[in-house]
Amino acid sequence: MPETRTFVASPEAKATARKFRTYAIIGWVVAMIGQVLAIMKLISDETLIALIVAIVAILAIAFFSGRFWKKSNKLDPTSEKNQLRFFLQNQLGAIMGVMCFLPMVISIFTSNNISGKTKAIAGTAASVAMTAAGISGAEFDAASIEKYSKEIEEQNKAASSVGINANNVFWSKAGNKYHAYNDCQYIKGKALSNGSIKESWEQKGISELCKVCRKRSAKASKVKAKAGEMLEEAVN
């Protein structure tokens, strides 16, 4: 049954991802409008300070857009089967980060209306902002349906090896961990979901075993094994 092994983002995760994508796109639109206005109005010796302020503001918006975009891809990743789509979806934050400044950088360096000093200061500021927006928007650890499916499989094995039932774990809405015990100190008193490791991953975009629960379960399964040995010895 290969179907059941494949990661499928939960409807809630998809909805949150859609919301984050919308935020990112709105941010990029605002940043682009800001850039166009800055190019039209602020590339002059008299408005250098206003231009720097605009660059910082656009960088902040591009930064948050990139973060929302990357978060959405963690919650609802694409498949690696279509390599072009996989690349574009994961690196759109970097592409848009650069696009929020590239026309401005070109406009500054090709402007005939500003002094050499203004050109150097504004050009450097815009270039640094472009680099920062590009790097912060880049995805260096791209999620994919295939990667998530594989990681869930590995988590299942790791959990089973310390005696955890991979189909009976607990998690709260916040955080990115799942727990073997519903009375674990980290989730005590919180509203909990119960299900498989795969389901917790599909809701959160990523899910790792709580270290406290792992230790507790490893200890419990050791005790159990020991008791089994003793019982066997006693019987024999």
Q: Which residues bind Zn ion (CB under 5 A)?
A: 179, 184, 210, 212-213
CB of 63 to Zn ion, least distance (A): 33
CB closer to Zn ion, 52 vs 220: 220
End-to-end CA gap in the chain? 42
Bridge partners, 171 (sequence order): 193
CB closer to Zn ion, 117 vs 188: 188
CB closer to Zn ion, 22 vs 160: 160
Joined tokens for residue 59:
């960088």
CB closer to Zn ion, 108 vs 213: 213
Q: Which of 210, 207, 172 is nearest to 75 (CA)?
A: 207
CB of 186 to Zn ion, least distance (A): 5
CA distances from 54 to 29, 88, 95 (A): 15, 28, 20
CB of 133 to Zn ion, least distance (A): 38
Backbone angles phi, psi at 82, to 5 degrees: -95, 100
Distance of alpha carbon 137 from the chain centroid: 11
CB of 216 to Zn ion, least distance (A): 8
Q: How many CB atoms lie within 10 A of CB 115?
A: 11
Q: Which helix (H) or strand (E) holds 79?
A: none
CB of 162 to Zn ion, least distance (A): 12
CB closer to Zn ion, 68 vs 178: 178
Bridge partners, 138 (sequence order): none
Bridge partners, 172 (sequence order): 192
CB closer to Zn ion, 159 vs 210: 210
Cα-trace Rg, the chain: 25
CB of 179 to Zn ion, least distance (A): 3
